[in-house]
Amino acid sequence: MTFLSQTFAQFIAAPPIGVVLCHEEREAMLALSVSPRHYRPHTPISRQGDVEPRVFFIQSGWACVYRDLPSGDRQIIDVPLKGDVIGIRAALGPNYNSLGSITDLSVYEISRSVLTKAVLQMPVLSRFFMRVSARQYAIVTEHLTNTGRRNAMIRTAHYLQELGARLAAIGEGNENGYECPLTQHELADVLGLTAIHVNRTLRELRENELVSFRAGVVEFLNRQKLSRLTSFDGDYLRMN
């Protein structure tokens, strides 16, 4: 467990994107008893309706929080990345979303009971979780306005920019783009579109020299033009 905590310490040192930890908060986090786990790509981790929910800190890899509909469709709510925390809310009540891995996924897992006790004993922790929670709310809010009020092209471009900004914040990708393991079908489930329409939309974005997403890599072809189109503003991703 010492070794594990050691790794967790390293994780904490590189704070979850945008959510900066103060000294006290870091200390409190380190007192938590966590267990590391690994999941293969495309494995379900928990399903909506599950009891005994847990909280996950992503150490590496891409995950995916989604909701299944009786029609067979699904809506992806968020794609958490390294440093993101999953299931804070589920730890307080029933779990309404499903969780799965997209790539190979390494996480630190904390049980609900450990967490709730810890929060009550260490008030600073609550501040941390509230901040994480705030960021997540801002993200879904943006996805909602994305699907509600932007057409396929702007919507897709906006989301690719969001991913870029989130990855940049954790030191992945570069000025020109990033690697993205999402399939077009998964992207469609994020954006509330058809995989086929996503395909066409991506082609259009490419032909218009805005963004290109091919063979698992997203390339920004003209960031200025792109930002003019989407009016993307990554502020909602940062919390301080």
The binding track of 75-104 with respect to its own copies, each residue x by CB under 8 A or -, is x-x----------xxx-xxx-xx-------
- DSSP states of 145-188: HHHHHS-HHHHHHHHHHHHHHHHHHTT-SBTTEEE----HHHHH
Only segment of 22-30, 59-67, 120-128, 201-209 that touches DNA (CB under 7 A): 201-209
- Least distance (Å) from DNA to the CB of residue 231? 16
- Least distance (Å) from its own copies to the CB of residue 176? 26
89 makes contact, choosing from its own copies, DNA, none, with CB < 5 to 8 Å by partner type, with its own copies
Residue 151 φ/ψ, nearest 5 degrees: -75, 170
Q: How many residues bind DNA (CB under 7 A)?
A: 19
The yes or no reply on residue 183 touching DNA (CB under 7 A) is yes
CA 132, CA 29: separation in Å to the nearest integer? 13
Work out whether the CA dihedral 101, 134, 109, 53 comes out positive or negative: negative
Query: Phi/psi class of residue 67: alpha, beta or left (left: φ > 0; alpha: ψ in -120 to 50)?
Result: beta
The yes or no reply on residue 23 touching its own copies (CB under 8 A) is no
| Selected binder of DNA within 14, 145, 195, 228 (CB under 7 A) | 195
- Least distance (Å) from its own copies to the CB of residue 111? 16
- Least distance (Å) from its own copies to the CB of residue 81? 18
**How distant, in Å, are the alpha carbons of 145, 187, 212, 240 from that of 197?**
19, 11, 15, 37
The yes or no reply on residue 113 touching its own copies (CB under 8 A) is no
